[in-house]
């Protein structure tokens, strides 16, 4: 057995059976091994940032890692932005990056590059297999690293000769370390803080945003009056009717400061201290009040659900604390696009148990508050700020959850980074409704230019404008085998969206706004 | 003056007046400065790999660097593959990468990443501006580094507070080090080797492939019988009628070995020792004979033209050595696509003084030998093996040479990496004819799988196939504002290409092969 075959068999033995790939010559032995070994589901992406974005979406919904197969340093570089986003979501991922044969590297041929250096910038774990004999063991260690809480990026660099040489050995799965338990005194101390009834905010992320986590957090809020909040970007959140409604900290600084004003205790549950996405001259980076005390109830690698339950028990909270009311389902709004009205339309139309993948900073900002009453769903966001996340994330999520409708909410500027994901959706016949917010401008940048105190001039207008020429998303989707339509009103959107939800397979709605 | 303004003014003072950009919030002060300072031509790319690929094509044709403007680590990562290609072409480039304000980094907000680590993997020079006061001096040093022979990648990381703070100072241009002259004894020794009349090959790259370099090399070949060869991938080569015909070392191992068999002396003129692109089990990495002696006439950073002229003089070669005949212009071939026949068609049709940007490993391999008799042209290739180079390189070349027709020869699989470049072509009304070789397969990988001794199976067929669904390049181009047509025969291609050459502005021909 060569190294490549031992790699495939070890990945399968370790429970990794999905591989998003864009291979090259140095990965040919891995590909040949895939031909020989049954059981690995391989999905082709036509650009590596699609490949890694798919792996992110897959991992968030599957709860375990997919592998990616990438070609040398440039292949990894092309995929690194969505690896960055996955790292920020604590999504586990096993990247297999092919390299030249070890003895070939001194010739510094065109594709030679510093893969190890590249990988380290965005991975928790990096290793280069030194020979075919170690490939299996290295792969098992990579999966172990990826599965280690809270979920890590593991990158295994595979020289071509380690891949093609004989002597490969399948390695048994390695044990995954248990999530560290909360220290009882931490729970007791924070219970004490909450009993004081001083204004407190629980900042929830990770598993705390699962249905179970939110229910436990709601018990705490019920007996203490603590506010439940989530970061501006959530990796995955259980939302919709029957779920505990939790507001995110707003992206806009003044709104964030207002939300957290008066808070005396910020209690972190898998989240970081709330900070501004970007710094602005003379403004604070942290958005919690300067005199608030920060407490860590659960670190990202701990089991936030268990810790929240312990705290609720410690506080004597009832098991079935009432879930706050969020009003009734609104009527379907009509007329031109307006963020909040769109959100109300979406809230009325989202299908039961769907997955929402959102990568729309400007158009998406108002969606949360008006969709609490939607059908139950899992909502995924771009956690790392590297735009072009929505389409591939939706694609990977659809592969992880074949029975569920996926709704991708994608800004047009960001969508152009990874439009190739549409082709993978068509190829795999994935059940995704892609909604493109076609405002034909990098709207967020216009806002940010004003935020630094500048006035738009001829260059900035040029650099933010996406309307010359106008993108035609119906043609772009059609060019990749995805049916599409264009709408210009909320009622037009409602009709198109309902029709798209009734059928199966990918569809795209360009909403001209 | 803030740091950003000092940066723009310093770049202009140093002769950098073109900026390919995909900015984000952390670059807003740079954008605001561009609004205030006249003279910087800014071109928007809808993905960073388009931005850097444009800068590569621009630099190869303009002979000096453009700037790129990239957003944080993910923006740089997205652009890194074409930075890699540019590095392999010794194309000068000044990357400006925005980062968070220095005091904001400890909060580890979503976009925080190791920009310095990323930049080092593909740059010759990396610096982070520590304050607004040093930005100007840092920019001047970056341009100096980029202009230092043979052409370097300089990456300047610009924290937002260095950009927005007052105290910026414009720096004067720094002197560019002269290219080191050849040592007279090196020229004498190699003249001695060539006088022996033992079989010798001059491996030409860099400026040796300019018209002047080729003429000097031809003088040497004329009096010594030495063969003139180029690497498999050339950064820029003067080709066509009246130019010295030089064959590349073939990509396929056996053909490369055959070309160089019997060679006793390999004389490097700005080139590396000829090595295989990839290693194959049991095959040599170097393709020159094991008993051949390698001599370095000129390193990449030397002036290959001057050194070749010195050697020709030393050998007493006549100034006007006859240029080898390459036959007559062939008739226009007809029928289905076949690489050599396509090359003959192209040779007959290329317009006078055009620029060819080629990124088509499989379909492009046979083009060189049958296009010696084309109209004079400059031919650019993907030098780093990171695919997706052709469309952006053509775009940048067209911006550098507004009066010249650019012909982009792009494989479909590679073209899908950077199709967004078409939008920039439409926006800037660039005079580019894009020819897409639509074989609907990663053909090179099929070849390479066989080369490692494997037989295609169900997974490899799946991973190489681009036909399910079929890409429709006419729609894709139309979606980005570029007119397009589809052809299926060589006569159809000839008609479409002639029509495209008669008009100005971007056009795309999908050649179904």
Which superfamily, per CATH, for B3-164?
Answer: Thiamin diphosphate (ThDP)-binding fold, Pyr/PP domains (3.40.50.970)
At residue A326, the pLDDT reads 86
Tokens 């998003």 belong to A20
Looking at residue A446, its pLDDT comes to: 86
Interchain proximity A385–B35, CB inside 8 Å: no
Question: What is residue A369's predicted lDDT score, i.e. its pLDDT?
Answer: 86
- Give A-chain residues touching B117 at CB under 8 angstroms: 117, 120-121
How far, in Å, CA of B187 to CA of B502, rounded?
48
From the list B42, B281, B444, which residue is nearest A462 (CB)? Answer: B42
The verdict on a CB contact (< 8 Å) between B451 and A28 is yes
Contact A167, A131 (CB under 8 A): yes
Q: What is the rounded average pLDDT of the residues B9-35?
A: 94
Q: What would the pLDDT profile of B96-109 be if each residue is shown by its tens digit? A: 999 999 999 999 99
Please indicate if any CB of chain B lies within 8 Å of the CB of A428. no
User: Please, what's the b/e burial string for A372-408 (b: 16 or more CB within 10 A of its CB; e: otherwise)?
Assistant: bbbbebbbbbbbbbbbbbbbbbbbbbbbbbeebbbbb
Taking CB atoms and an 8 Å limit, are B25 and A101 in contact across chains? no
Sequence ranges of the domains in chain B: 3-164, 184-314, 339-512
**What φ, ψ does residue B410 adopt, rounded to 5°?**
-125, 125
pLDDT of residue A117: 98
The answer to whether the A184-314 and A339-512 domains have the same CATH topology is: yes
Residue B283 in contact with partner chain A when CB distance is under 8 A: no
pLDDT exceeds 90 at position B329: no
- pLDDT at position B448 is 85
Quick one: pLDDT at residue A462? 83
Q: Is the pLDDT of residue A361 over 80?
A: no
B276 touches chain A (CB under 8 A): yes
Q: Is A121 on the interface with B (CB under 8 A)?
A: yes
Closest CA to B269 of B352, B207, B181: B207
ipTM over 0.85: yes
Chain A interface includes B177 (CB < 8 A): no
pLDDT tens-digit readout, A310-355 = 999 999 999 999 999 887 777 899 999 999 999 999 999 999 999 9
For A301-315, B204-218, B325-339, which range has the lowest pLDDT when averaged over its residues?
A: B325-339
pLDDT band at B213 (very low <50, low <70, confident <90, very high): very high
Q: Is the CATH code 3.40.605.10 the one for domain A184-314?
A: no
Among candidates A46, A85, A276 on the partner chain, residue whose Cβ is nearest the Cβ of B109: A276
Is the separation of the CB atoms in B238 and B210 below 8 Å? yes
SS3 readout for B438-469: ECCECHHHHHHHHHCCCCCCHHHHHHHECCCC
What's the topology of domain B339-512? Rossmann fold (3.40.50)
Tell me which chain A residues have a C-beta less than 8 angstroms from the C-beta of B388: 47, 78
Distance from the B305 Cα atom to the nearest Cα atom in chain A, whole angstroms: 24
- pLDDT of residue A451 exceeding 90: no
The three-class DSSP label of residue B153 is: strand
Look up tokens 């999908």; give the residue.
Answer: B510
Say what the pLDDT of residue A146 is: 98
Query: What is the Cα–Cα distance from A35 to A23, expressed in whole angstroms?
Result: 14
* pLDDT (average), residues B34-55: 96
Closest chain A CA to residue B116: A121
Kindly list the residues from chain A whose CB atom is less than 8 angstroms away from the CB atom of residue B25. 277-278, 444-445, 448, 451
Q: What is the pLDDT of residue A382?
A: 97
Where does the pLDDT of residue A428 fall: very low under 50, low under 70, confident under 90, or very high at 90 and above?
very high
pLDDT tier at B331 (50, 70, 90 boundaries)?
confident
Q: Say what the pTM is.
A: 0.97
Q: Please, which pLDDT band fits residue B362 given cuts at 50, 70 and 90?
A: confident
Nearest Cα to B181, choosing from B99, B318, B65, B297? Answer: B297
| Residue B261 confidence (pLDDT) above 90 | yes
Give the Å distances, CA to CA, from B456 to A7, A28, A54, A101: 19, 10, 25, 22
User: Is A241's pLDDT higher than 90?
Assistant: yes
How large a percentage of chain B has pLDDT more than 70? Answer: 100
The mean pLDDT of A22-45, rounded to a whole number, is 92
CB-CB under 8 Å, B77 with A80: yes
Q: Are strands B377-381 and B237-239 parallel, antiparallel or unpaired?
A: antiparallel
Backbone angles phi and psi of A111, in degrees to 5: -85, 0
The residues in A 226-245 lying below 8 A from B, measured between CB atoms, are 233
Per-residue pLDDT band for B503 (boundaries 50, 70, 90) equals very high
A229: confidence class by pLDDT, cuts 50, 70, 90:
very high
Q: How far apart are CA A239 and CA B205, in angstroms?
A: 60
What integer is the mean pLDDT of A408-430? 97
Q: Which residues pair with A98 in a beta bridge?
A: A71, A158
CA distances (Å), origin B58, targets B295, B379, B406? 32, 13, 12
Q: B residues 5-64 near A, CB within 8 Å?
A: 21, 23-26, 28-29, 31-32, 34-36, 40, 42, 44, 46-47, 49
Which among A96, A459, A478 is the top mutation candidate for probing chain B, defined by the most B β-carbons within 10 Å of its own β-carbon?
A459
pLDDT at A130 over 80: yes
The pLDDT tens digits for B431-472 are 999 999 998 888 888 888 888 778 888 888 888 888 899 999
Nearest to A53 by CA among A72, A68, A41: A68
Average pLDDT, chain B: 95
At A47, is the pLDDT very low, low, confident or very high (cuts 50, 70, 90)? very high
The predicted model gives B324-352 an average pLDDT of: 90
pLDDT tens-digit profile of A172-208? 999 999 999 889 999 999 999 999 999 999 999 999 9
Looking at chain A from residue 472 to 491, which residues have their Cβ under 8 Å from any Cβ of chain B? Answer: 472-476, 478-481
């Amino acid at each position: 057995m060569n190294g490549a075959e031992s790699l495939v068999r070890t990945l399968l033995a370790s429970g990794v059976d999905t591989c998003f790939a864009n291979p090259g010559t140095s990965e040919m032995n891995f590909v040949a091994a895939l031909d020989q070994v049954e059981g690995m589901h391989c999905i082709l992406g036509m650009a590596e940032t699609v490949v890694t974005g798919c792996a992110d979406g897959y991992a968030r919904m599957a709860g375990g890692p997919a592998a990616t197969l990438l070609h040398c340093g440039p292949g990894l570089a092309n995929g690194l932005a969505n690896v960055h986003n996955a790292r920020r979501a604590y999504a586990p991922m096993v990247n297999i990056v092919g390299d030249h044969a070890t003895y070939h590297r001194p010739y510094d041929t065109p594709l030679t590059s510093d893969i190890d250096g590249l990988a380290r910038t965005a991975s928790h774990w990096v290793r280069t297999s030194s020979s075919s004999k170690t490939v299996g063991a290295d792969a098992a260690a990579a999966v172990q690293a990826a599965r280690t809480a809270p979920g890590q990026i593991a990158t295994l660099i595979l020289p071509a000769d380690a891949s093609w040489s004989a002597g490969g050995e399948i390695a048994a799965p390695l044990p995954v370390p248990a999530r560290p338990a909360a220290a009882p005194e931490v729970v007791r101390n924070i219970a004490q803080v909450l009993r004081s009834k001083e204004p407190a905010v629980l900042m929830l992320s990770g598993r705390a945003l699962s249905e179970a986590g939110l229910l436990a957090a709601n018990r705490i809020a019920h007996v203490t009056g603590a506010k439940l909040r989530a970061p501006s970007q959530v990796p995955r959140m259980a939302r919709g009717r029957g779920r505990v409604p939790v507001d995110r900290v707003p992206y806009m600084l003044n709104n964030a400061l207002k939300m957290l004003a008066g808070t005396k205790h910020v209690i972190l549950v898998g989240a970081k201290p709330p900070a501004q996405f970007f710094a602005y001259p003379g403004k604070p980076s942290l958005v919690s009040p300067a005199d608030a005390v920060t407490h860590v109830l659960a670190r990202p690698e701990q089991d936030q659900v268990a810790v929240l339950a312990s705290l609720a028990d410690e506080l004597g909270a009832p098991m079935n604390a009432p879930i706050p009311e969020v009003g009734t389902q609104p009527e379907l709004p009509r007329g031109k696009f307006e963020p909040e009205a769109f959100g109300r339309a979406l809230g009325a139309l989202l299908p039961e148990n769907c997955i929402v993948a959102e990568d729309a900073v400007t158009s998406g900002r108002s969606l949360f508050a008006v969709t609490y009453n939607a059908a139950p769903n899992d909502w995924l966001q771009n956690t790392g700020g590297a735009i072009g996340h929505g389409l591939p994330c939706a694609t990977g999520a659809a592969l992880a959850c074949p029975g569920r409708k996926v709704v991708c909410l994608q800004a047009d500027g960001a969508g152009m980074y990874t439009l190739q994901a549409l082709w993978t959706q068509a190829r795999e016949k994935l059940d995704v409704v892609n909604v493109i917010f076609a405002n034909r401008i990098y709207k967020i940048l216009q806002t940010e230019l004003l935020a630094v105190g500048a006035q738009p001039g001829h260059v900035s207008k040029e650099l933010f404008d996406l309307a010359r020429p106008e993108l035609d998303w119906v043609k772009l989707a059609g060019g990749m085998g995805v049916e599409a339509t264009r709408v210009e009103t909320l009622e037009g959107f409602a009709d198109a969206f309902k029709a798209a939800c009734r059928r199966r397979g990918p569809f795209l709605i360009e909403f001209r706004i």
